Amino acid sequence: MAEQFVAKASEFQNGDRQIIRVGEDEIGIFKHEGKYYAYSNFCLHQGGPACEGLTIAGVKEKLRDDKTSVGLYFDENSMHFVCPWHGYEYDMFSGEQVADRRLKLKKYNVVQKGDEVYVVA
């Protein structure tokens, strides 16, 4: 495992993504609210480009005490990314598939050294 250069931190804005190939692996690196997350770009479902789809906050339902629904809303404390092939949705913070938390994308460590961002792969 070695540190592989990804991009200049100053050019990597919040909400940006970069897909790189290191040897035989494809890795998607996300920047969300100042933090970096990196996962394998191979979807656990059928090997689609998991990190290249929509990014969207998790949807939750607001309930009153008597369990009456007040409606659905986007949870600001969560962020998901969706594989564009068949809609497998992953938690950006853990790489877990949100419908079945036992399934998890391979996670890579991201290191920032000065203005340079590296992924350990």
Binding interface with another protein (CB under 8 A): 2, 4-5, 7, 13-23, 26, 31, 52, 55, 59, 62, 64, 70-74, 121
- Which of these, 6, 50, 49, 48, lies nearest to 31 by C-alpha position? 6
In the chain, the amino acid numbered 21 is R
Closer to another protein by Cβ: residue 23 or 114: 23
The distance of closest approach from Cβ of residue 86 to another protein in the complex, given in angstroms and rounded to an integer, is 19
Closer to another protein by Cβ: residue 19 or 99: 19
Closer to another protein by Cβ: residue 74 or 101: 74
Half-sphere exposure in the Cβ direction for 87 (13 Å, CA) = 1
For residues 98 and 109, the answer to whether their CB atoms sit within 8 Å is no
